[in-house]
Structure 1
Amino acid sequence: MSRYGLRTAVFAAIHVAVGALLATAAGAQDYPSKPVTLIVPWPAGGSTDISMRAIADSASKVLGQPIVIDNKAGGGGTVGPATMAAAAKPDGYTISQIPITVFRLPLMQEVSWDPAKDFTYIIHLTGYTFGVTTNADSQFKSWKDVVEFAKANPGKVTYATPGTGTSLHIGMEQIAAMSGIKLTQVPFKGGAETNAAVLGQHTMLQADSTGWRPLVDAGKLKLLMVWTAARSPNYPDVPTLKELGYPMVYDSPFGIAGPKGMDPKIVAKLHDAFKKAVEDPAVIATLAKYDMVPNYKNTEDYRKFVVEVTESERKVIDTLGLAKK
């Protein structure tokens, strides 16, 4: 190549690089200039879907663009985040709710994502109230009844969960191990399906978040226990795990992330919008309907939380013998 040709090529490369940097800067400056897609990895109509829609609606008013909910259920809440990690551009226009299953399932089986490398963590939002319900016509009037029946009939007690590897699945297996009983999990995609399973007596129990609340309030389901640190103010007669002799609290907190490589300025805009959303009285009221409360962590603290919770989950999975071989 001649000296002139080489110089031309160098100038062209510099021009392309500078152009790309300017485009990136402009993109962050103008963000968002179109609707943002928020993946909810659970079916429509469940407690997570309803709460995330309320949060998204409030955050959209801060961003000045609609936030469109895309329900991608399956895999205990991992299909949506995995799809985003594999295919979405890191431009801030596709983000996802991130359940703890995203950190836990890679410890149990081979998956397509690495929670430490494939996501840009934005903000930690809230957590769940979990509980175990049974059909109102069930023979079980208390958790003690379940344990006694399970001891006499190993493996016969079935329970519905929103998926293998979810906090509900792991929590129930911990409870079973501590009780010296064997339970049989029946995994579904989300709360609407687990509700239907226990209502139709296709399973004997349901372990899920408070999507069951309307059915409990209507007298169609009976709440046997809650997994919170203290009794629910909505169900003051229902015991906690600790009161039943299990030294456990499960609230499975969650947040929002995007694909890896997002511009920090875009992350900051999303963080600020969703922070204002979880401070919105209307959002707090919606969360309260499902016994959920804001549990805010900023971007840096959320990253630290991911590391901490992954290690704590590793210990639980190892203890239960569920670690991948």
Structure 2
Amino acid sequence: MPVSRRKSALHLAALGCALAFPALTATPAAAQAAGAWPTRPVKLIVPYAAGGFADTRARRIAEKMGQALGQPVVIDNRGGAGGVSGTDVIAKATDGHTFGFASPGPMVTNAMLMKKLPYDAQRELQPIILIEEAPLILVSSPTQPFKTVAELIAAAKAKPNTLTFGSSGVGGAHHLSGELLAYQTKTDLVHVPYKGGALAATDLMGGHLAFMFEMGYSALPAIQGNKIRALAVSSRHRLKVLPNVPTLDEAGISKFESYNWLGMVAPASTPMPIVKRLNAAVNAALKDADVRTMIESSGGEIVGGTPEEFGKFLAEERAKWAPVIRNANISID
């Protein structure tokens, strides 16, 4: 048989095999994108220890997602290094069934605070959905004379480098919110980091700190018990649980927004049909009454939406925090 005819025959034979056994020739990603996904339980990495803010949200949402996907959704806690260790596991996953939760540090600010990360959030991870924006509450010690944001700023400008604010540690949402306040108001504030937000809150109630930014779930009981004073919230709208407390924008700090948000991300190689199916499952979970109550009762705001909207949000976060971190010369290496 001439060489050209032999090549043609071999080509036709190979094509015939491919048509006869499509499952053997299709890649796993292509098969998943075609509608077979998920073929086994879905794993969601939580880059923090069990029992915390992200973990409690994740477990309730995972339960509802499993109902929509037709497969169990299993939570895998991978705490360590401020969320970096677990996020690296998400970025490196290749099994097509491992995804995870995202928060400001691992997805945005750690790249500005650390000299080196084991992953590139912008290249190795893709957005699925922004689940929740958890605003912080600007609270002061009852021992302080100021009762409004304007009075706080006036006190800071009258005596630079004397007004102290606490945080759960360097580079976290509590800390960066305080630095954003200093940056936007051109004041010199004194940051006092603690090994956890509860320790800082205790010192605030005891009058050892002037103010701090606290998460709603931890601040609300103390506010309701008149142990601390709520001056403003860091969201664009007032909170349902604190309707009489103004936003920082309303209090005179133009366009001030800061959130300890929670989202979901996938490895960059994940086919878009899978990303969209996960997005739909989470959007459905966010309509559940129990999920909504869990988030809103602690001062959180439900978001939802598309992967593209979450991607835009991440870009806006990077643009907002970069100058704040540079101005305060913050590093956690």
One of 224, 227, 231 as aligned partner of 1:224: 231
Q: Is the 1:39–1:94 Cα contact (8 Å) retained in structure 2? A: no
1:110 aligns with 2:95: no
Q: 1:300 to 1:145 in 2, by over 3 A?
A: closer
Counterparts of 1:239-250 in structure 2, within 5 Å, are 239-250=246-257
Amino acid across the alignment from 2:126: T
Q: Is the 1:98–1:254 Cα contact (8 Å) retained in structure 2? A: yes
- Tell me what 2:3 maps to: none
Q: 1:180 to 1:269 in 2, by over 3 A?
A: closer
Counterparts of 1:79-94 in structure 2, within 5 Å, are 79-85=85-91, 87-89=92-94, 91-94=96-99
- Tell me what 1:33 maps to: 40
Alignment RMSD, CA only? 3.7
One of 84, 95, 100 as aligned partner of 2:100: 95
Distance 2:216 2:62 in 1: 20
Counterparts of 1:1-325 in structure 2, within 5 Å, are 19=24, 21-25=26-30, 29-41=36-48, 44-46=51-53, 48-63=54-69, 64-68=71-75, 70=77, 72=79, 74-75=81-82, 77-85=83-91, 87-89=92-94, 91-99=96-104, 102-112=107-117, 113-136=119-142, 141-144=147-150, 146-151=152-157, 153-187=159-193, 191-192=197-198, 194-196=200-202, 198-199=204-205, 203-211=209-217, 212-252=219-259, 253-314=261-322, 316-317=324-325, 320=327, 322=329
Write out the 4+ residue segments of structure 1 that deviate beyond 6 Å after TM superposition.
Answer: none
Unaligned stretches of 5+ residues in structure 1: 1-6
How far residue 117 of structure 1 moved from its aligned partner, in angstroms, is 0.2
Q: 1:82 to 1:198 in 2, by over 3 A?
A: farther
How far residue 39 of structure 1 moved from its aligned partner, in angstroms, is 0.8
Q: Which structure's CA Rg is the greater one?
A: 2
SS at structure 1 position matched to 2:77: strand
SS at structure 1 position matched to 2:121: coil
Identity %: 21
Q: Is the 1:42–1:190 Cα contact (8 Å) retained in structure 2? A: no
SS at structure 1 position matched to 2:51: coil
Which deviates further from its counterpart, 207-216 or 229-238? 229-238
Amino acid across the alignment from 1:98: S
How far residue 65 of structure 1 moved from its aligned partner, in angstroms, is 0.3
How far residue 308 of structure 1 moved from its aligned partner, in angstroms, is 4.2
SS at structure 2 position matched to 1:258: strand
Q: 1:308 to 1:178 in 2, by over 3 A?
A: closer
Distance 1:285 1:137 in 2: 33
Q: 1:169 to 1:248 in 2, by over 3 A?
A: farther
Q: 1:154 to 1:43 in 2, by over 3 A?
A: farther
Amino acid across the alignment from 1:268: K
